[in-house]
Structure 1
Amino acid sequence: MPTETFRSAFVPHDLAAPVAGASTGPLAGLSVAVKDMYDIAGERTGGGNPDWLAAHPPATAHSAVVAKLLAAGATITGKTVCDEFFFSVAGVNAHYGTPLNPRAPGRIPGGSSSGSASAASAGACDVAIGSDTGGSVRVPSAFCGLYGIRPTHGRVDLAGAMAMAPSFDVGGWMATAPGVFRALGRVLLDHHTAPARIEKLIVLDDAFTQADEDVATLVQDALDTMSGTLPAATHGAIAPEGFDPWREAFRIIQGREIWRVYGDFVETRRPRFGPGVRERMEFAATVTEAAAEAAYAVKAAAFAWIRSVAKPGTVLALPTVPCIAPRADAPQELLESFRVRVMRLTCTAGMAGLPQVTIPVGTLAGCPVGLSFIGWAGGDEALLDLAVRLAPFVGAGAE
């Protein structure tokens, strides 16, 4: 892979040298790239924004995720570019540039864990660490042809990591190899597991209708090909009133919470924002307490409903993203429309705090397409095992 691809994935204030982990452990010998939101002792954390970077000193200790990786034997090879304050799913950074998508040249990598996905897809690391609030691991994993996971809310310790919207924030990771992908779970997930055998598969027809026809067809064909490995599929809908009420509540809560985290900094330091992020931050500043309370009520109802469907032993299948990766030179209006479409698919797991894995199942016009499974609370390990079992089918699909 060209050096340019490697370079575009990592922040310019990258590590002076790799940080070596323990000599033994379950991740010994593996290289890991880390999103620029996790503290590494002696290094600055920028969150995709150079003004935040300049305003903060180097970290005095490793974040919990980094400490666990190092204790397990992994070597941290670099810090990766991300969208500013993680407030995008496109992967476009006005300050550091857009990381290249090795699997779909000329197209966006997806965000906000854009550099992590680019690095993993390019072979610059064995596994890459990201975070997922509204799709920030799932979207770039799908666009860059990777396995990716958004864990159950709260199962990855985010101490020492920058926040975005704590009601939804989770740590996550992505990799090209299913075995490595699963191995991270044994290191980063806490003990709140809920083991169960996967015995029921629900294909979310309302999620499939949100996707472009060719994407939906490819994903359904992949499910059909996997039928011998999966439980017999049933079909259903997950969003009784459509996805937009959930998506809008998600947007309002996300705005309210990111402003609580960064509002004082934005008002006092007036940081520079790129297109899209600037407008979303301006919106975040306007979210009222009344609007937030109404949105939290929608979230509570969605949480209860979705979890009543995604019971232990049940997984929900859907396209990870509704389309192939937009072109890197796409106008801002198109990227905003893309964001709305993506959030209709990603909000289900987010509103319910449930785990979701995405696996690469084929390509369209040379661009990777991802199939997702949402599991039950604490069912992360079952999803990781499922990804490994389905590995023989990865890459199948139309060109």
Structure 2
Amino acid sequence: MPEQEVDAGAPVHADGAVPAGLLDAFWRYERALMADDVPELDALFTDGPSTLRGDAGGLLVGHDAIAAFRRGRGGAPKRRIAAVHVRVLGDDAAVVVAELAPRTGGRGQQTQVWRRGAVGWQVLVAHVANPAPAVDARIWRTVGTPLVRGAAEGPLVGKRLAVKDLFAVAGHRIGAGVPEYLAHAVVQQHTAPSVRALLEAGADLTGIAHTDEFAYSIAGANPHHGTPPNARVPGALPGGSSSGPASAVALGQADIGLATDTGGSIRVPASYQGLWGLRTTHGRIARKGLLPLAPSFDTIGWLTRDRAVLAACSRVSAVGAPAVPAPDRFVTAPGLLAGLDGTVRRAFEAWTHRLGDVGQVDLGDVAAAQEAFRVVQAHEAWQADGAWLTAHPGAVSGAVAARFEAAADVLDEEADLARFELEDHRRRFTRALQGAVLLLPSAASVAPQATADAAAVDAVRTQTLRLTCVAGILGAPALSAPLLEIGGAPLGVCLVGPRHSDDALIHLAASLR
């Protein structure tokens, strides 16, 4: 039997006479689902903003959102209908519960509320419960129960840790989101100090979580293992390059994501999935045992669902580091906001207005600063990975491959000039801020849909990097706090403080709503 054919012989259990045409519509839906016939599926769902579809990944509201999700998922898992249960609600309404027998094993359920209207029977509400995978391979590269057990005592006892696939874990290899790189990698003999600090504080290492290819992205997509799900916005990008740890934490599969942030790779996934995320002061956390991307900007930090857990991670990981109090003055930089989508700008400005006394500063030509940042990052990324990529053509693809191709063309002289310019930008930013906490959106938009075209995703990336590069240029800590929502989707508020005000920023954020 071809995969798109459906056996309509499953037993039907009803509490009364089944309304005419209902089962025909149900089996029509099932055939379309197995054939991934998106237009037919769209026609079988009630058109309008009140239609609902939910699963373990979240709730989609409205026909348009459901249709966009279908276009991006690439078809539903193949299954057989084991039985159909009908509960009649009236002449023109019924609940249909189907027992699912997936080809991969286990049992699931599909519950639908059908309503008959002018165009016949259509689904108004649907919920799908598939068997949960033991391990979501889109998120995890390697897992254990746990993979490494932490100390018996400490402030992080009972917390589960997801480590981005850039850190050394003794007995394991570093994969950097690239299967071919993983295949040639050596087994690590020592665990990175940043990982060890959390283990010694009691956290258990659940596993090693995926990253975007060589961490050179902030979208969260990966062509090799699939894009990790966004726990807050079904069908949307999770944010990268710390996509695996972010999704693990947001979905409750881990409590702490140990991650890196070069150009926004902690702040963006935190923003997209409603998490707390801290990019630490550059150099505050030792980068030994970390695969570099651009050492001038690479930092280590954490993603959590809870501010207190984030504070504990910072305390145990930065023992002996300087501690600078957070200023009591907030400022925004209107020039940074000018190019943002109006919805984002208005939401952020309304939030800062509620906050009260917030000043304004002029950071000058941030576009020029962003370009200097880009050149230096690209040059260092090619220095880090160019030789390997040259020896392994085709190992990365898409936007990341295009970035590395551009990086290969950056001359040493260009990079030296950009570094000189960055020093000017850093001094100008420092003078403008005068020690204040800079407030800005953590990303230029809420999470784009995974089906968004490459040009649209790249445009959001460029706008977001305009925001995120400021902390990178300053070498300053930047805390993304889950304080805003737009249309039900999270948007982080970022606090950029003076160097080594990391812990004070986390404490300060407790007072913000």
Matched with 1:268 is 391
**1:42-53 alignment runs, 5 A limit:** 42-53=171-182
Matched with 2:466 is 344
CA contact (8 A) 2:275 2:304 kept: yes
Matched with 1:81 is 210
- The alpha carbon displacement at 1:354 in A equals 0.7
User: Are 2:280 and 1:151 equivalent residues in the alignment?
Assistant: yes
SS at match of 2:375: helix
Instruction: Name the CA shift for 1:14/1:281 in 2 (closer, same or farther; >3 Å).
Output: farther
Report the AA paired with residue 250 of structure 2. Answer: S
User: Are 2:234 and 1:112 equivalent residues in the alignment?
Assistant: no
Report the AA paired with residue 339 of structure 2. Answer: Q
SS at match of 1:193: coil
Instruction: Name the CA shift for 1:278/1:5 in 2 (closer, same or farther; >3 Å).
Output: farther
The structure in which a higher percent of residues are strand is: 2
- The alpha carbon displacement at 1:358 in A equals 0.9
SS at match of 1:389: coil
User: Are 2:448 and 1:323 equivalent residues in the alignment?
Assistant: no
Report the AA paired with residue 293 of structure 1. Answer: D
Report the AA paired with residue 351 of structure 1. Answer: I
Instruction: Name the CA shift for 1:106/1:6 in 2 (closer, same or farther; >3 Å).
Output: farther
- The alpha carbon displacement at 1:309 in A equals 3.3
Distance in 2, Cα, partners of 1:124 & 1:266: 33
Matched with 2:403 is 280
Report the AA paired with residue 313 of structure 2. Answer: L
Report the AA paired with residue 286 of structure 1. Answer: D
**1:34-49 alignment runs, 5 A limit:** 34-49=163-178
User: Are 2:421 and 1:295 equivalent residues in the alignment?
Assistant: no
**1:1-399 alignment runs, 5 A limit:** 1=56, 3=132, 7-15=136-144, 17-227=146-356, 232-238=357-363, 240-241=364-365, 243-312=366-435, 314-390=436-512, 393=513
- The alpha carbon displacement at 1:339 in A equals 1.4
- The alpha carbon displacement at 1:12 in A equals 3.5
Report the AA paired with residue 104 of structure 1. Answer: V
Distance in 1, Cα, partners of 2:355 & 2:151: 39
- C-alpha deviations, 1:15-62, integer Å up to 9, x for none? 574311100012111111111111111111101111110111221110
SS at match of 1:276: helix
TM-score by length of 2: 0.72
Distance in 2, Cα, partners of 1:153 & 1:80: 23
- The alpha carbon displacement at 1:274 in A equals 2.2
SS at match of 1:164: coil
- The alpha carbon displacement at 1:190 in A equals 4.8
Instruction: Name the CA shift for 1:106/1:374 in 2 (closer, same or farther; >3 Å).
Output: same
Which shifted more, 353-362 or 9-18? 9-18
Report the AA paired with residue 154 of structure 2. Answer: G
Structure ID, larger Rg: 2
Report the AA paired with residue 226 of structure 1. Answer: L
- C-alpha deviations, 1:196-245, integer Å up to 9, x for none? 24221111211222321111222222223333xxxx2111222x12x221
CA contact (8 A) 2:160 2:256 kept: yes
TM-score by length of 1: 0.92
Percent of aligned pairs sharing the same letter: 34
Instruction: Name the CA shift for 1:35/1:5 in 2 (closer, same or farther; >3 Å).
Output: farther
Distance in 2, Cα, partners of 1:160 & 1:71: 17
Instruction: With a CA cutoff of 8 Å and minimum separation of 6, indicate the structure with the bigger relative contact order.
Output: 1
Structure 2 unaligned residues grouped into runs of 5+: 1-55, 58-131
- C-alpha deviations, 1:303-337, integer Å up to 9, x for none? 2222233444x201111111111110112122221
The structure in which a higher percent of residues are helix is: 1
**Count of aligned pairs:** 384
Which shifted more, 148-157 or 212-221? 212-221
Instruction: Name the CA shift for 1:366/1:197 in 2 (closer, same or farther; >3 Å).
Output: closer
Report the AA paired with residue 254 of structure 1. Answer: Q
SS at match of 1:191: coil
Instruction: Name the CA shift for 1:94/1:221 in 2 (closer, same or farther; >3 Å).
Output: same
Structure 1 unaligned residues grouped into runs of 5+: 394-399
